Amino acid sequence: MAAAPPSYCFVAFPPRAQDGLVVFGKNSARPRDEVQEVVYFSAADHEQESKVEADLSSQRWLHQIPSRVPFFQCEGHSSHEEGKCTYISIDQVPRTHAIMISRPAWLWGAEMGANEHGVCIANEAMSTREPAAETEALLGMDLVRLGLERAETAKEALDVIVSLLEEHGQGGNYYEDADSCHSFQSAYLIVDRDEAWVLETVGKYWAAEKVTEGVRCICNRLSLTSKMDAEHPELRSYAQSQGWWTGEDEFNFSEVFSPAEDHLGCCAGKDSLEKQEESITVQTMMNTLRDKASGVCIDSESFLTTASGVSVLPQNRSSPCIHYFTGTPDPSRSIFKPFIFVDDVKLVPKTQSPCFGDDDPAKKEPRFQEKPDRRHELYKAHEWARAVIESDQEQGRKLRSTMLELEKQGLEAMEEILTSSEPLDPAEVGDLFYDCVDTEIKFFK
């Protein structure tokens, strides 16, 4: 059984978090050479008869879409592709919300993201006692995006994910790899301004815990114990049928479903965040995600933190949620750039990977026979910065210092927005992420 990559995601609630803010953070540990893109999709209404079905036996797509509805839209990524996920197709809903996501460039879903209603979701690949299905179904990353598109609260997103899990199942290759299928179970951290839900899944079975205070971390191992606020109705009977639970002992989700060789309590990263004596701020979260000594920021032979995200969700609804994305690998050598949802968001093609349409090797059977160059313009510019930081100690130190100064300017501007008594002017922030990316690329050049 392949080991799940050591990703981490966190949430901190007041009073541990600063000034009535909920602070969310995620590091995405993926294969070292994988590119992540940061993409915005506007809210969209969909024709009720619009439907995409997949013949799962042959894995050939059968498109049943009115001709007036675009099936695939490469340019701008401004609207939601109709119903088609990474490997299978599902029914579309009448309306999808605006979302901003960070995703491996070859797939449909997302490693992490946020929607216009202040819902944030991240997922973790996990190994459990039950091997994950290799049969192509929904990926955990597809369910992240589907939850964001379809829910206005964290609890709604939980309900969306578990209902789709029940209907379609999870499975398929998590990596762009023709030689081997790397399939995993999934865990999710689902957050809004009021609460968070930790959702952990084994096939179609699941359990969830509600969190409203303190600090919570999830990683690539099961964390739920006997405190479960919601669960699949057949979860316990399934565990009994497999001989994993007697029915007499207290039901402890992690003990029942963790692999025999696994150890409980994986989150070294939680200690990294909890030991902070001060209130947890957006800067604290960014520092935690940059922490290589604790293992939160992975940089190993196989895996790298290929993208990171932090979100600040004010419990006061008159203040906007602010979402920061790197769009580049290794947060210790990257700049977190802010984004705010408004009606007229300027698209950022420089963080979007090239589109290969139906010729994409990820879409053709057999899959992944080639690996196209998926680097976007920001990624290419950032490669130069990474090389300088790695090879030239003095120049690299100066470069990193300047990068952090650019980031600091963005943080200070966002702090002004959060503390201002004036209502937010959408015209001032519609091109916020675009301008930050543009400035970063010009700086690298």
Distance CA 35, CA 30 (A): 9
- 89, 54 contact by CB (below 8 A): yes
Q: Has 9 been annotated as catalytic? A: yes
- 110, 37 contact by CB (below 8 A): no
CB-based burial label for 62 (10 Å; 0-12, 13-18, 19+): exposed
CA 164 to chain centre: 18
3-state SS, residue 330: coil
Distance CA 338, CA 322 (A): 6
| Tokens (6 digits) for 205 | 């079975």
DSSP state letter for 442: H
Nearest partner of 14 among 194, 223, 155, judged by Cα: 194
Distance CA 111, CA 101 (A): 8
3-state SS, residue 168: helix
Q: Which amino acid is at 377?
A: E
Nearest partner of 326 among 16, 11, 20, 36, judged by Cα: 36
Between the two ends of the chain, the Cα-to-Cα distance in Å is 43
Find residue 256's DSSP bridge partners. none
CB-based burial label for 141 (10 Å; 0-12, 13-18, 19+): buried
Angstrom CA distances, 157 to 141, 196, 223, 308, 314, stand at 13, 11, 20, 21, 19
Q: 9, 120, 181, 436: which is the annotated catalytic residue?
A: 9
Query: What beta strand segments (E) does 13-98 contain?
Result: 21-31, 36-41, 44-45, 51-55, 60-64, 95-96
Q: Which amino acid is at 40?
A: Y
| Tokens (6 digits) for 170 | 């999870």
Residues forming the active site: 9
